[in-house]
């Protein structure tokens, strides 16, 4: 449904016939760590996340899983160590 609280005119998953179903009745502005993300939209004088109604919650335990401005480093295949191999018995 179309948001009619803070992100007027945009699609919002939390809008219902009774209004905004999120806690407090409105989305919260983006966190400082969200600056530069492609999912941040500007509505009025503030910026809001297009995916989450309260983006600060996604940053509490580490990086946001939907952040587009953060590169996640992965370990290469050469660092893979095989542990606990056992020989099979012959019958």
Looking at the structure of the chain, the number of domains it has is 1
The SS3 assignment for 29 reads: strand
The answer to the question of residue 10 being in a domain is: no
The answer to the question of residue 36 being in a domain is: yes
- pLDDT score of 60: 86
- pLDDT score of 48: 81
Q: Taking a C-beta distance cutoff of 8 angstroms, is the pair 49, 33 a contact?
A: no
**Full pLDDT tens readout for the chain, 91 residues:** 777 677 777 777 777 777 777 777 777 888 888 888 888 888 778 888 888 888 888 888 888 887 787 877 766 666 666 777 777 677 7
Supply the pTM of this predicted model: 0.61
- pLDDT score of 78: 60
Distance, in Å, from the CA atom of 74 to the CA atom of 57, rounded to the nearest integer, reads 24
The answer to the question of residue 42 being in a domain is: yes
Q: Can you name the residues that pair with 11 across neighbouring β-strands?
A: 2
**What is the domain extent for residue 62?**
15-70
């Amino acid at each position: 449904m179309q948001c009619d609280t803070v992100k007027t005119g945009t699609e919002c998953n939390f809008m219902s016939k009774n209004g905004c179903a999120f806690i407090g009745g409105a989305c919260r502005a983006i966190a400082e760590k969200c600056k530069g993300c492609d999912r941040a939209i500007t509505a009025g004088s503030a910026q809001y996340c297009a995916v989450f109604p309260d983006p600060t919650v996604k940053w509490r335990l580490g990086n946001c899983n939907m952040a587009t401005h953060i590169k996640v480093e992965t370990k290469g295949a050469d660092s893979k160590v095989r542990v606990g191999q056992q020989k099979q018995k012959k019958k």
